[in-house]
Amino acid sequence: MTDDAVPDHRASAPVPDLRASDADRERVAEVLRDGLAEGRLDMVEFEERLEAAYKARTYGELAPLTRDLPTAVAPAGPTPVSFTKAPAQSGSWASRIVGGEGSSAGGVAILSGFERKGRWTVPRRFNGFAFMGGGEIDLREANFADHEVVINCVAVMGGVQVIVPPGVEVVVRGVGIMGGFEHPRDDGPPEPGAPRVVIGGFAFWGGVGVSRKVTRAEQQRLKEQRRQERLERREARQELYRARREERQEERERRRHGE
């Protein structure tokens, strides 16, 4: 076997300085609980290591806690959490670039408001106008008439908010006079096949905001995931409390019988 064919296991190992997630800490806690149940750790060692696991901030702090246990595994590598991930609920980008005409060519708000959101098709050019009013253009669940679409916004003493989904390339070319065009934060390169959204126009005593957000369904999924993780941590703390109480009870019984 040549040197090139030798697998490099170090490549898959977590970098010690990377931040650990709640799921990583829970995996280590599970190994420690198994070690306690099998008699490999006494209660004092278990409590010390469990406390250190929940306080750990990096993979380097987690790794030593299970290194001497036969069931020990290195904490899993970090799961990428990125705003550049394609929206799972809408399928691939190819399925969202549908061609044809858009389902709405523009929106007007004069002392009022307009919004385009949900399932709709963004045309090759969309015009939004707000005068002492506001508009919302939400592209998170939208389809696109072409690989590149232009959203032209004019805001006079009003505002327009454009919400783009993760993974979409955004170019802002608007001009503001006593107003402004907000640029979304850069969350890495666009997803392969994702559309390009060019936002231009004019803002006078008003503004055009551009932001990246996941869909409401994804927000709910992440919220539920965090709730479940909190419940698991609470159960782990309760289990530790019960174990400590039983240990103290057993110690009192031994003392009472003169052991």
Mean pLDDT of the chain: 79
**Amino acid at the residue 109:** A
Q: What is the pLDDT of residues 68-89, one digit of tens each?
A: 887 544 444 444 444 334 343 3
φ/ψ of residue 254, rounded to 5: -65, -45
Q: How many CA atoms lie within 13 A of 28 on its CB side?
A: 31
Residue with tokens 């909190």: 230
Residue 152: pLDDT over 90: yes
The winner for highest mean pLDDT among 53-67, 78-92, 114-128, 217-231 is 114-128
- For residues 216 and 108, which has the higher predicted lDDT (pLDDT)? 108
Task: Tell me if 138 sits within 8 A of 117, measured CB to CB.
Answer: yes
Averaged pLDDT, 84-96:
58
Of the candidate ranges 122-136, 146-160, 236-250, the one whose mean pLDDT is the lowest: 236-250
- Does this model's pTM top 0.85? My answer is no
- The size of the chain, in residues, is 259
